[in-house]
Structure 1
Amino acid sequence: MGGLSRYTQIALDMSHRIVQGEFTVGERIYGRSTLASLYNVSPETIRRSLALLAEGGVVKVSQGSGVIILSKDLAYEFIEKYKGKHSLASIKKELRNLLEEKKKMDINLWDMVHNLIEYSDNLKHINPYNPFEIDIESSYKEAGKTIAEVEFWKKTGGTIIAIKRGEQMIISPGPKYTLEVGDTIVVVGDQDVYYKLKQFLNKL
């Protein structure tokens, strides 16, 4: 029951005992100190466990009268309620892990793109088609339009192989992707493309 507090685990264990008939409805069970010894926890932890069960109508706690079992059905409902909460917590935890993994993958992809650019720069006299990156600034008047709408390839002769948008990495974006202010685009093309792209983005 990873992720659940100790007092919640104890409350669930007691509920299971009630459902299984180990404790019967109407029975008066151990006092707080005896339960604390049974579960090897402090009396305060037992108090919180019993408060949960009492809130759910499973038991009644009376000072001087001990703990009285009230309902087997409500004990079952208590178990089901926390089973659902535990499943949701597990899903949330898994989702957080997946998002962290995706973030790491995006960083690795961006590093690979940078390595490709650096490698291509070293071989620019051999390979006429070199990737380079450029930022889209607020001066670009057609921000928000798609790659197809601005006729990117027709006007620059370059091909966008990646877009970095915040922490998101888009590899091989299609013609329906928009170009937004703040994007960093990676373009491949011959030496003339860089200057055409500068003009395209109103940077010359």
Structure 2
Amino acid sequence: MVYPGDDPDEAQLVLRLTSQEADTLAEILGAPRIAERFADLTREVPGLSAGQVEVRPGSPFADRPLGDTRPRTRTGASIVAVVRGDDVIASPGPSQPLEAGDILVVIGTHEGIVGVQRIIQG
């Protein structure tokens, strides 16, 4: 949409995108929507939650592989993506190295997500 400078409430449609095209464009522009998609999923499944856990500087798991955290074994929650800056690493494997500043997208119960946070923070 384009908004004329003299009337910001008036919008003119310039281009219509499909949902898939909008998602692709959002990812190219550095606005990954993966967390939003998981949030939609958790609204559909009772008892399932989505959360984000930051790997902070000084975390015992910074610069170590994701598998060392053993989140599913220890909490029942799964790390389904790693957001690193504008990049999204979907379905990371156990050898995926974690870095300070990474945001982990976690799916599980509320207690499981809190457990993953405790593990990552040490």
TM-score range, shorter chain: 0.5 to 0.7
Structure 1 position 143 matched with structure 2 position 65: no
Residues 112, 150 of structure 1: CA spacing in aligned structure 2 closer, same or farther, 3 A cutoff? closer
Identity of counterpart residues, as a percentage?
Answer: 19
Superposition map of 1:24-39 within 5 A: none
The structure, 1 or 2, with the larger RCO (C-alpha pairs under 8 Å, 6+ apart) is 2
Q: Which of residues 176, 186, 191 is equivalent to 2:110?
A: 191
Superposition map of 1:3-152 within 5 A: 104=28, 107=31, 110-117=32-39, 119=40, 123=43, 127-152=46-71
Aligned to 1:93: none
Tell me the TM-score normalized by structure 1: 0.41
Aligned partners of 2:107, 2:81: CA distance in 1, in Å?
A: 10
C-alpha distance after superposition, 1:161-196 (max 9, x if no partner):
111112211111111101211001101011211221
Unpaired segments ≥5 residues, structure 2: 1-24
Tell me the TM-score normalized by structure 2: 0.65
CA RMSD of superposed structures (Å): 2.6
Aligned partners of 2:55, 2:108: CA distance in 1, in Å?
A: 18
Structure 1 position 163 matched with structure 2 position 82: yes
Residues 112, 105 of structure 1: CA spacing in aligned structure 2 closer, same or farther, 3 A cutoff? farther
Residues 152, 112 of structure 1: CA spacing in aligned structure 2 closer, same or farther, 3 A cutoff? closer
Alpha-carbon deviation of 1:155? 2.3
Aligned partners of 2:76, 2:62: CA distance in 1, in Å?
A: 19
Deviates more, 1:165-174 or 1:126-135: 126-135
Residues 116, 102 of structure 1: CA spacing in aligned structure 2 closer, same or farther, 3 A cutoff? closer
Residues 200, 128 of structure 1: CA spacing in aligned structure 2 closer, same or farther, 3 A cutoff? same
Contact 1:156–1:200 (8 Å) recurs in 2: no
Aligned to 2:119: 200
Contact 2:51–2:107 (8 Å) recurs in 1: yes
Aligned partners of 2:99, 2:75: CA distance in 1, in Å?
A: 17
Figure out how many residues of one structure are paired with residues of the other and give that number: 98
C-alpha distance after superposition, 1:58-116 (max 9, x if no partner):
xxxxxxxxxxxxxxxxxxxxxxxxxxxxxxxxxxxxxxxxxxx7951763xx2242243
Aligned partners of 1:112, 1:202: CA distance in 2, in Å?
A: 23
Higher helix proportion, which one?
1
Aligned partners of 2:78, 2:113: CA distance in 1, in Å?
A: 11
